[in-house]
Amino acid sequence: MDLKEMKELRIGEILENVSLKNYTTYHLETISRFMVFPRTIADLKTVLSYLKERKIPHKILGGGSNLIFKNPIYEGVLIHLKYFNKLEIIDNQVKVGAGYSFMRLSLKTANLGLSGLEFASGIPGTLGGAIFNNAGAYQSDIGYALLEATVLTPSLEIVTLKNKQMQFHYRTSFFKENPGYIILEGKFLLKPAKNTLLCEIIEDRKKRRLESQPLEWPSAGSVFRNPEQMPAWQVVEKLGYKGFSIGGATVSEKHANFIVNKKGATGNEIVTLIQRIQKDALEKLNIQLVLEQEIVE
């Protein structure tokens, strides 16, 4: 990769040798060789064409709230969509860019008396990541609320996908199976409600999260999807991993389905701990623990 050549493309801001400590919720000290911040869809298309032609590894980055960078250096290019953050609200219809904070969107719509996204008030990351992962909480998820999404296809065409086309299921979607598609914007049809009631619900859930989740430590939220047999936290507890550490990566004592970064954990330490738990769950309990987070090599 040639930094000078990339800058000549005029594709927005470009940074070299970027620490991802402030770009991932695990606060890992991984270094990314390059990070690009396209400002427009045209910029995004240009950088993607450049990278694909040269077969350079690359990844879209939002809030970094579900990612584990396994190695100390990411040799490819991270494409950050922070400028794709336009928000438009007309009556109860909401159009929002993929780079907009999902938590902020939840709070904004609740304050305006629009119901449907209050479940997301404690979910970090961006809208794009939330759609990609079908983020959810409190028996709801984004698949229930999203009307349609504007996406960029692997052939760099802009298309609109309706809700059913996105194949939302528990913590997964069409995009997880087809990572070449890039989410640009989401459209919601929310329901009018009393903003005071919505804010009360959000405040109550915030209190419950503070009591039950290790929010004082860097993490990426729930590590495993809940299997059919029992909640994932119960599986981890039953295996005796509550409070167990590998290096700086520790299974939370407050909530066993959280791995927290207590002492400068590396991505490899987190991945090693995850794989050890998965192996024991399968061998000792015959339970397949499916990872909710994404490992980036």
pLDDT in tens, 193-237: 999 999 999 999 999 898 999 999 999 999 999 999 999 999 999
246-280 tens-digit pLDDT: 999 999 999 999 999 998 999 999 999 999 999 99
Residue 6: is its pLDDT beyond 90?
no
Residue 48: is its pLDDT beyond 70?
yes
128's enclosing H/E stretch is helix 127-133
- Supply the pLDDT for residue 176: 92
Any idea what DSSP says for residue 120? G
Instruction: Return the bridge partners of 169, or none.
Output: 172
Q: Which of 33, 118, 148, 171 is catalytic?
A: 171
**Distance from CA of residue 14 to its chain's centroid?**
22
Residue 1: is its pLDDT beyond 70?
no
- Supply the pLDDT for residue 3: 72
- Supply the pLDDT for residue 246: 98
Burial class (CB in 10 A: 0-12, 13-18, 19+), 85: middle
What is the distance between the terminal CA atoms of the chain, rounded to a whole angstrom? Answer: 18
**Distance from CA of residue 2 to its chain's centroid?**
29
How far is Cα 240 from Cα 160, in angstroms, rounded to an integer? 47
> Are 268 and 71 in contact, with CB atoms under 8 Å apart?
yes
CA nearest to 78, candidates 29, 7, 18, 134:
18
Give the strand pairing for 249-251 and 245-246: antiparallel
**pLDDT band for position 4 (cuts 50, 70, 90):** confident
Q: Does domain 3-80 have CATH number 3.30.43.10?
A: yes
DSSP-assigned letters across all residues of 42-72: HHHHHHHHHHHHTT--EEEESS-SSEEE-SS
**Type of residue numbered 209:** R
- Supply the pLDDT for residue 86: 97
**Cα separations in angstroms, 242 against 34, 127, 160, 246:** 37, 31, 44, 12
Q: Three-state SS for 94? A: strand
**pLDDT band for position 9 (cuts 50, 70, 90):** confident
- Supply the pLDDT for residue 47: 95
- According to CATH, the topology of domain 87-197 is 3.30.465
**pLDDT band for position 79 (cuts 50, 70, 90):** very high
Averaged over 6-28, what is the pLDDT?
A: 91
Q: Which of 101, 222, 252, 269 is catalytic?
A: 222
Task: Give the strand order in the sheet containing 93-97.
Answer: 87-90, 93-97, 182-189, 146-152, 158-162
171 part of the active site: yes
Residue with tokens 């419950």: 208
Any idea what DSSP says for residue 101? B
Averaged over 70-83, what is the pLDDT?
A: 96
Q: What percent of the chain is modeled with pLDDT above 70? A: 99
The domains of the chain are located at 3-80, 87-197, 214-296
121-176 tens-digit pLDDT: 999 899 999 999 999 888 899 999 999 999 999 999 999 999 999 999 999 999 99
What CATH number does the domain located at 214-296 have? 3.90.78.10
- Supply the pLDDT for residue 12: 86
Any idea what DSSP says for residue 225? P
